[in-house]
Structure 1
Amino acid sequence: MNNIDRKNFHSQVVDLLKSARNKVVRSVNQTMVITYFEIGRMIVDKEQDGKERAAYGENVIKNLSKVLSVEFGKGFSERNIEQMRQFYLAYSIPQTLSAVFNSGNPSENSENKMIILSWSHYLKLMRIEDLNERNFYEIESYKNNWSLRQLQRQFDSALYTRLVLRRNKAKVNELSEKGLIIEKPIDAIKDPYILEFIGLREHTIYSENELEQEIIDKLEHFLLELGNGFTFVARQKRISFDEKHFRIDLVFYNRLLKCFVLIDLKIGELKHQDLGQMQMYVNYYDREIKLNDENKTIGIVLCRDKSESVVEYTLPENNEQIFASKYETVLPSKEDLKSLINYK
Structure 2
Amino acid sequence: MADKPSNTKFFSQIVDLLQSARNNIVRTINQTMVQTYFEVGKMIVEEEQKGKDRAEYGKSLLQDLSKTLTREFGKGFSVTNIQQMRNFYLTYQKQQTVSVKSEKTIQQTASVEFKLSWSHYLKLMRIDDENERKFYEIEAVKNNWSVRELERQYDSALYTRLILSRDKNKVKELSEKGLVITKPKDAVKDPYILEFLGLPEHSAYSENQLESGLIDKLEHFLLELGNGFTFVARQKRISFDDKHFWIDLVFYNRILRCFVLIDLKIGELKHQDLGQMQMYVNYYDREIRLEDENKTIGMVLCQNKSESVVEYTLPENNEHIFASRYKTVLPSKEELKLLIKQSE
TM-score between the two structures when normalised by the length of structure 1: 0.94
Q: Which residue of 1 aligns with 2:288?
A: 289
String of CA shifts for 1:191-237, please: whole Å, max 9, x gaps.
00000000101111100000000000000000000000000000000
Q: How does 1:253-332 map to 2 (within 5 A)?
A: 253-332=252-331
Matched, 1:34 2:38: no
Matched residues, number: 332
Q: How does 1:1-344 map to 2 (within 5 A)?
A: 5-94=6-95, 111-113=111-113, 115-342=114-341
Distance of 2:5 and 2:128 partners within structure 1? 55
Q: Which runs of 5+ in 2 are unaligned?
A: 98-107
Contact kept in structure 1, 2:269 and 2:302, CA below 8 Å: yes
Give the residue type in structure 2 aligned to 1:61: L
Helix, strand or coil: the match of 2:244?
A: strand
Helix, strand or coil: the match of 2:182?
A: coil
Q: Shift of residue 110 of structure 1? A: 6.1
Give the residue type in structure 2 aligned to 1:59: S
String of CA shifts for 1:147-181, please: whole Å, max 9, x gaps.
00000000000000000012223210100100000
Give the residue type in structure 2 aligned to 1:66: K
Distance of 1:3 and 1:201 partners within structure 2? 57
Distance of 1:281 and 1:216 partners within structure 2? 21
Helix, strand or coil: the match of 1:201?
A: coil
Give the residue type in structure 2 aligned to 1:255: R
String of CA shifts for 1:55-78, please: whole Å, max 9, x gaps.
100011000000111111110000
Distance of 2:44 and 2:82 partners within structure 1? 9
Distance of 1:21 and 1:205 partners within structure 2? 48
Q: Which runs of 5+ in 1 are unaligned?
A: 97-107
Aligned residues with identical type, % of pairs:
73
Name segments (4+ residues, structure 1) moved above 2 Å.
Answer: 1-5, 108-113
Distance of 2:329 and 2:272 partners within structure 1? 27
Helix, strand or coil: the match of 1:262?
A: strand
Q: CA RMSD in A?
A: 1.6
Helix, strand or coil: the match of 1:167?
A: coil
Distance of 2:277 and 2:266 partners within structure 1? 16
Distance of 2:110 and 2:310 partners within structure 1? 46
Helix, strand or coil: the match of 1:112?
A: coil
Distance of 2:235 and 2:3 partners within structure 1? 41
Give the residue type in structure 2 aligned to 1:177: E
Give the residue type in structure 1 aligned to 2:8: K
Distance of 2:30 and 2:138 partners within structure 1? 17
Q: Shift of residue 249 of structure 1? A: 0.2
Larger radius of gyration: 2
Q: Shift of residue 336 of structure 1? A: 0.5
